[in-house]
Amino acid sequence: MSSIRKRKLIDDRQSFSHQRTNANRPQSRSPKIRLQKWFLILISFVALTLVVGSYYKALPWSLQSHATNTLDAVAYSLGLQKHVHAIIIDAGSTGSRVLAFTFHESLLDGTLRLDNELFVQIKPGLSSYADNPKKGAEKLQELLDRAKEVIPHSDWGRTPLAMKATAGLRLLPDHQADSLLDEVRKLFSTSPFLTNVNSVAIMDGVDEGLFSWFTVNFLLDRLGGEVKKTVAALDLGGGSTQITFAPSEAVTLKQADPKFLHPISLFHHNVTVYTHSYLGLGLMAARKAILTVGKSEGSTTLRSECVNPIITGAPWTYSGVTYTVRGPEKPEYKTVKGSAHTEDEKRPVVRFTECVNIIQKYVKGKVDKPAELNSREINAFSYYFDRATEFGLIDPFTGGVVTVKDFQKAAIRACETPNTEQPFMCLDLAFISVLLKDGFGLNPDVKLNLYKKIDGHEISWALGAAFHILQNGL
């Protein structure tokens, strides 16, 4: 239950208790006097809001919070504010997610404040239904039904609904992607939510990066202050990866490719943001490229130097195709010394140097290296977070901070450890470490903040998209 609803419930109970206590007392004030009293209270509250709001707007933006303040909570309890909602469906390459957001407009500065959100995910991703687009659209109905549960029925008709597909659909042939989008449009046409021709689309990688960067900095309350206090956002999806930050050094703005620089208006401030999306460098797309090196087109049985020899037939499905993955034909073994009571162990391992060479060749020349990134605070999420938690680098519930070097060490350990339950951990961690070091040019000691949520809210480009739609329309 949100703080606003809690406050309203408490107020109602106090009122009920007061009426019972005074039920048998003579009424000392007429209804007219009581009405005047509440009118004066209301006028005083509005006046106070205007005064405080003027002062609040003069404060540094970095001191302002994305969350509900006391004044807004009181205003809502008095019926002076209403919630607004937005529903975003994130059609990613490995899964589809619905995020239903509830905001209110702050009386202090007129900006949107985030109250609640719904997050529900289903798998596989929409792109997996390329050969059956109707079924793919029908799966999204499950997500819309969940959104109906949290959005008041009276608000359905004015709540914007949008589906943005990411790298999964970008990687499909045009005719397959268009068929999927057409089926989703048919589904949305029957929805009670607010939609138009812009509600269903493949999202540009630039927007994905900008919206993710906005989400992280909005939730951390870093927007509107000094640019150098904003954080960089590294998003590793299934089909693509994004790097986004607001440069604070003149040399970055001078040396960066102009197509990577995007001027935006943010809370009445003009900011230039560096962002670029790399299609094919998402974790799953890269995994497929690395596994299929040297293989003929259409091969579904794959042997790889980046897979432990103990793996003799791991199934893996990507973009609707199921592969059988195995380690190399000629295995490598490492002798592990036993204790005084155990014999030496001959352990199958990945030839780490050969695996890294394959990955480096795939990444080489594809990624820009903004030097300023080494001196900035960085938040990395999505598959960065997932693999770090699965390997035990950070707590899955609280997240944590790791260095680029930590990912490199984890990759080495994973590649030396036979593990049939995590057959791709070696490959995935090796790719992440190569992407960070050789791709983005990050120094080994650079720290990465790895979190799935901030202040209880999902780190996702969807929040930035919802904010944009409520401010600018679908």
Which three-class secondary structure state does DSSP give residue 200? strand
The secondary structure of residue 438, as a DSSP letter, is I
421 flagged as catalytic: no
Give the pair of three-digit tokens for residue 294. Answer: 């040297």
Q: Is 197 in the same domain as 215?
A: no
Q: Is 428 in the same domain as 293?
A: yes
The total number of structural domains that make up the chain = 2
Q: Is 354 in the same domain as 471?
A: yes
Q: Which of 151, 183, 203 is the last residue of a domain?
A: 203
Q: Is 256 in the same domain as 334?
A: yes
Structural domain of residue 414, as residue ranges? Answer: 206-474
User: Do residues 225 and 236 lie in contact, with contact meaning Cβ atoms separated by under 8 Å?
Assistant: no
Q: Is residue 56 part of a domain?
A: no
Cα–Cα dist 117/379, whole Å: 21
pTM: 0.83
Q: Write out the chain's pLDDT in tens, 474 residues.
A: 344 333 332 233 233 233 333 444 444 456 656 655 555 555 554 554 444 444 444 444 444 566 555 555 565 565 567 889 999 999 998 999 999 999 988 766 667 889 999 999 999 999 999 999 999 999 999 999 999 999 999 999 999 999 999 999 999 999 999 999 999 999 999 999 999 999 999 999 999 999 999 999 999 999 878 899 999 999 999 999 999 999 999 999 999 999 999 999 887 788 999 999 999 999 999 999 999 999 998 899 999 999 999 999 999 999 889 999 999 999 999 988 777 677 778 999 999 999 999 999 999 999 999 999 999 999 999 999 999 999 999 999 999 999 999 999 999 999 999 999 999 999 999 999 999 999 999 999 999 999 999 999 999 999 999 999 999 999
Q: Is residue 118 part of a domain?
A: yes
Q: Across the strands, what pairs with 266?
A: 269
Q: Is 264 in the same domain as 354?
A: yes
Alpha-helical runs (H) found in 195-305: 205-219, 250-255, 283-291
Q: Is residue 73 part of a domain?
A: no
Question: Annotated catalytic residue: which of 117, 183, 208, 458?
Answer: 208
Q: Is residue 381 part of a domain?
A: yes
CATH number for the domain that contains residue 136 = 3.30.420.40
**b/e per residue 230-267 (b: at least 16 CB within 10 A):** bbbbbbbbbbbbbbbbbbeeeebeeebeeebebeeebe
Q: Is residue 49 part of a domain?
A: no
Q: Is residue 147 part of a domain?
A: yes
Q: Is 139 in the same domain as 223?
A: no
Q: Across the strands, what pairs with 97?
A: 90, 121
Q: Is residue 304 part of a domain?
A: yes
